[in-house]
Amino acid sequence: MTGLALSARGIRKRFGDREILRGIDLDLERGEHVAIIGPSGSGKSTFIRCLNLLERPEHGTIDLDGQRVFDATVRGRAGDARRLRRQVGMVFQSFNLFTTHTALENVSLAQRKVLGRSKAEADERSNALLTRVGLAEHAHKHPSQLSGGQQQRVAIARALALDPRVMLFDEPTSAIDPEMRNEVLAVMKDLAAGGMTMVVVTHELQFAELAADRVLFLADGEVVESGTPTDVLRNPRHARTQQFVRAVGGGG
């Protein structure tokens, strides 16, 4: 399939007197993988949270598969955000798993509550997804029995269980020990290879270079530079991008 999966135009967001986002645009093609990088405080996490209305922009529009799902000038109807989140999954820095539930139960619960699947249907889907993320043998373990990387993979399976059209990742490896990051990144690379439409806020420049089709560099609430991973990470044009890539250790 071709065409836009998600289009965000003129997204602005402020907290108090501080304008965090200053009119950001993003057109995301079906099957495209976009990495968003930038220094702390640049607005990366705020922007990705705006894309599924965890933060409500003060200005801008969001279209999903060509249908308007958010317009800041129109008062939202009850349930609009929930309907959007059913189609735009999100994985956070923190895992947000239910500690009293097993991995299988964590993945199944949303399917039963949101999609109305039976326990048998939800568990079948959950087992398939846990197998996909390499956790089949850990299905009946609780989060306290899992490593950080394993918990994040459960969180990814949980987001996939709702069959989203787009997946958003907000620094998914930042709360994981360095030696556990590769197992999460490997799952994300597999999703990308399988054609999942993805937006990833990341500080892992190597992952961005290998898995992204396009990289956006944000600073001070604006898109400073956008292009292929080679363009942005290896041959950045803007001095601000060059400074960031050198500091983080990317580029040639």
What pLDDT, in 10s, does the model give residues 32-43? 999 999 999 999
Q: What is the dihedral of CA 223, 225, 226, 230, to 10 degrees?
A: -150
pLDDT, tens digit, for every residue of 52-61?
999 999 999 9
Scanning the chain, the segments in alpha helix (DSSP H) are: 44-51, 80-87, 103-110, 119-132, 148-160, 178-193, 205-211, 229, 239-248
State the CATH number of the domain containing residue 114.
3.40.50.300
Task: Residue 3: count other Cβ atoms within 10 Å of its Cβ.
Answer: 8
pTM: 0.93
What is the extent of the structural domain holding 44?
A: 4-248
CA 170 centroid distance within chain: 5
Residue 79: per-residue pLDDT: 55
pLDDT band at 246 (very low <50, low <70, confident <90, very high): very high
**160 in Cβ contact with 106 (< 8 Å):** no
pLDDT band for position 100 (cuts 50, 70, 90): very high
At residue 243, the pLDDT reads 95
Please report how the helices 119-132 and 148-160 are oriented relative to each other, as an axis angle in degrees rounded to 10.
130
Which residues are 217's β-sheet partners? 37, 225
Average pLDDT value for the chain: 92
Check whether 251 has a pLDDT greater than 60. no
pLDDT band, very low/low/confident/very high, at 45 (cuts 50, 70, 90): very high
The two structure tokens encoding residue 147: 């490593």
Residue 199 parent element (H or E): strand 197-201
Quick one: pLDDT at residue 196? Answer: 95
What is the domain count for the chain? 1
How is residue 203 written in tokens?
């500080």
Residue 223's nearest CA partner among 62, 35, 96 is 35
Dihedral angle sign, alpha carbons of residues 19, 7, 96, 215: negative
The alpha carbon dihedral of 28, 225, 184, 85 has a sign of: negative
Q: Write down the pLDDT at residue 3.
A: 87
pLDDT band at 244; cut points 50, 70, 90? very high
Which residues in 229-247 are b (16+ Cβ under 10 Å) and which e?
A: beebbeebeeebbeebbee
As beta bridge partners, residue 215 has 35, 227
